[in-house]
Amino acid sequence: MKILVVGSGGREHAIVWKLAQSPYVDEIFCAPGNGGISAIARCVPIKAMDIDGVVEFSKETGVDMVVVAPDDPLAAGMVDALEKEGIRAFGPRKDAAVIESSKSFAKWLMKKYGIPTAEYQVFDDSGKAIEYLRNKEYPIVIKADGLALGKGVIIAKSFVEACDAVNGMMQGKMFGSAGERIVIEEFLEGTEVSVLAFTDGKTVVPMVSVQDHKRAYDNDEGPNTGGMGTFSPSKVYTDEIARYCMKHIFMPTINAMYEEGRIFKGVIYFGLILTKDGPKVLEYNARFGDPEAQVVLPRLKTDLVEIFNAVIDERLETVKMDWDDRAAVCVIMASGGYPQEYRTGYLISGIREAEKDPDMIVFHAGTRFENGEFYTAGGRVLGVTALGDTLDDAIEKAYNGVEKIRFKDMYYRKDIGRK
Ligand code: AMP
Ligand code: GLY
């Protein structure tokens, strides 16, 4: 088989790495990919949002399956465009990807189908939003409706902060058109855990649980990022909670989408918070998380091509999924300044040395390969991942790997896995 993976980050590297282990695979392409991916796949200079380019390339090259990994091409209908040309594609169609690309849709769906989530209101008018905020309890959560690189959520501690957030999103356009409509919701307290699941629209198979670290600095300080590290499994996500979530959240969500005529096929990501009133949904994503994929896929023993085929053909119930019992940890090494301004183009050393340990994988998030060397090319640069018999083992190994790697102005959190 020839497979094309769309995207260019650490998540895509993890997907390509896992696909490359499949006996079904002859050749993998990645559009546009990155330096690390180019070692195991043929990178083609087509942007992830270039729907016509991806369709054209797939037809010309005779690609057997396209895996659409990032949120924006899914929301823009890349899967629909591929299917229209008879090309097999993994990922939800546009009408199902809306579960991530519109927070107001996701909230409406949960309310209609009784799926536990925070109380909320939707606003298209900033004056009405501010009126609503007057007599509320704080903190309160303000969310841009659309896609905002995982940064469109503001937790306001006071009325003044909440007004700033509303005005910033709706008038200041801090998240562009994503913030023209906003969701204001109740602040929930609890431990956050993420569960990704494969689904063919009828069957849901949850993957092993993950926790991430969204803030830039140790002890959850500093600005929000796309994610500075992950670990799997989560200690707080017990079998009992998993059973509750399957019954009250996972199946009801997939069934709700089916009822609405928006059959969801692909990976659905449940961002959960375990409150004193039980698990609730904070958000849905319509794809693998990044860097969640980097700890989940190394623990997957089952052939990923088999799973993707079963999802596309709507026979996921026929696949038996096996997981490695070991824990996995991914530490993101980032460019100094990320998530704000940062420089790129610095030489990276030590990757090969770090990878000498067979339980280590260095996933590339933002690198370029030139004349036999890797250079930094993004905010998140590497995701140094290790498997270990216990979480502590995995943490120790991952940081051993991190210590071997160097590039100018690099930074990383030192407390990944210690939540
Ligand atoms: P989201 O993109 O919706 O997952 O939000 C990003 C982060 O904001 C989450 O991971 C939480 O840490 C936080 N958050 C979102 N919604 C709430 C809420 N209702 N209560 C408390 N924290 C929240
Ligand atoms: N790491 C969170 C996400 O991929 O949305």
Q: How confident is the model at residue 179 (pLDDT cuts 50, 70, 90)?
A: confident
For a mutational test of ligand 2's pocket, the pick from 151, 213, 269, 297, i.e. the residue with the most ligand atoms closer than 8 A to its C-beta, is: 269
Gap between the Cα atoms of 265 and 313, Å rounded: 10
CATH topology of domain 125-180: Dna Ligase; domain 1 (3.30.1490)
**Strands 410-411 and 42-43, how do they pair?**
unpaired
Q: What is the pLDDT of residue 46?
A: 98
Question: pLDDT above 70 covers what percent of the chain?
Answer: 100
Domain ranges of the chain: 2-93, 125-180, 191-318, 327-411
Going from the Cα of 227 to the center of ligand 2, the distance in angstroms, rounded, reads 6
Convert the pLDDT of each residue in 38-52 to its tens digit.
999 999 999 999 999
What are the CA-CA distances from residue 40 to residues 156, 261, 402 (Å)? 45, 38, 22
Q: In what order do the strands lie in the sheet with 278-285?
A: 204-206, 191-199, 266-275, 278-285
**Which residue from 67, 51, 62 is spatially nearest to 19, judged by alpha carbons?**
67
Mean pLDDT estimate for the chain: 96
**Least confident segment among 147-156, 194-203, 208-217, 286-295:** 147-156
Please tell me the residue having the least CA distance from ligand 2 atom 2: 289
224: buried, middle or exposed (CB in 10 Å: 19+, 13-18, 0-12)? Answer: middle
CATH code of 2-93, in short, is 3.40.50.20
Number of Cβ atoms within 10 Å of the Cβ of 408: 12
Q: Give the torsion sign (CA, 353, 334, 225, 44).
A: negative
Q: How confident is the model at residue 156 (pLDDT cuts 50, 70, 90)?
A: very high
Q: How confident is the model at residue 224 (pLDDT cuts 50, 70, 90)?
A: confident
Q: What is the DSSP letter of 248?
A: I
Going from the Cα of 143 to the center of ligand 1, the distance in angstroms, rounded, reads 9
For the cut 80, the answer to whether the pLDDT of residue 149 exceeds it is: no
Q: How confident is the model at residue 193 (pLDDT cuts 50, 70, 90)?
A: very high
In DSSP terms, 191 is beta-bridged to: 274
User: Please, how many CA atoms are within 13 Å of residue 81, restricted to the half-sphere of its CB?
Assistant: 20
Question: Residue 231 has which token pair?
Answer: 């670990």
Going from the Cα of 150 to the center of ligand 2, the distance in angstroms, rounded, reads 7
Please tell me the residue having the least CA distance from ligand 2 atom 5: 289
Please tell me the residue having the least CA distance from ligand 1 atom 12: 192
Ligand 1 atom nearest residue 189's Cα: 21
- 419 contacts 351 by C-beta, under 8 angstroms: no
Convert the pLDDT of each residue in 296-352 to its tens digit.
999 999 999 999 999 999 999 999 999 999 999 999 999 999 999 999 999 999 999
- 409 contacts 338 by C-beta, under 8 angstroms: no
For the cut 80, the answer to whether the pLDDT of residue 151 exceeds it is: no
Q: What is the pLDDT of residue 243?
A: 98
Residue type, 305: V
- 114 contacts 175 by C-beta, under 8 angstroms: no
Q: Give the torsion sign (CA, 215, 243, 281, 292).
A: positive
CATH topology of domain 327-411: Glycinamide Ribonucleotide Synthetase; Chain A, domain 4 (3.90.600)
Residue recorded with tokens 């890349």: 78
For a mutational test of ligand 2's pocket, the pick from 99, 143, 285, 330, i.e. the residue with the most ligand atoms closer than 8 A to its C-beta, is: 285
Q: How confident is the model at residue 155 (pLDDT cuts 50, 70, 90)?
A: very high
**Which residue from 73, 118, 124, 119 is spatially nearest to 100, judged by alpha carbons?**
73
Q: Cα-atom radius of gyration of the chain, to the nearest Å?
A: 21
Give the torsion through C-alpha atoms of 158, 159, 162, 163, to 10 deg.
Answer: -150
In DSSP terms, 193 is beta-bridged to: 272
Task: Give residues (CB < 6 A) around ligand 2.
Answer: 150, 212, 226-227, 285, 289-290, 292
Do the domains at 125-180 and 327-411 have one common CATH topology?
A: no
Q: What is the pLDDT of residue 323?
A: 98
Question: Residue 241 has which token pair?
Answer: 């909670």
Question: pLDDT above 90 covers what percent of the chain?
Answer: 95
Could you give phi then psi for residue 400, rounded to 5 degrees? -60, -40
Element (H, E) at 277: none
DSSP secondary structure string for all residues of 377-417: -SSEEEEEEEEESSHHHHHHHHHHHHHH-B-TTEE--S-TT
b (16+ CB within 10 A) / e for 300-326: bebbbbbbbbbbbeeebeebeeeeeeb
Q: How confident is the model at residue 177 (pLDDT cuts 50, 70, 90)?
A: confident
- Reported CATH class of domain 191-318: alpha beta
Q: What is the pLDDT of residue 391?
A: 98
Give residue 383's Cα distance to chain centre.
14
Q: How confident is the model at residue 411 (pLDDT cuts 50, 70, 90)?
A: very high
For the cut 90, the answer to whether the pLDDT of residue 92 exceeds it is: yes
- Contacts (Cβ under 8 Å, ≥6 apart) of 291: 10, 11, 212, 227, 229, 230, 330, 332, 363, 365, 380, 383
Q: What is the pLDDT of residue 148?
A: 83
Name the pTM for this structure. 0.96
- 385 contacts 295 by C-beta, under 8 angstroms: yes
Q: What is the pLDDT of residue 176?
A: 84
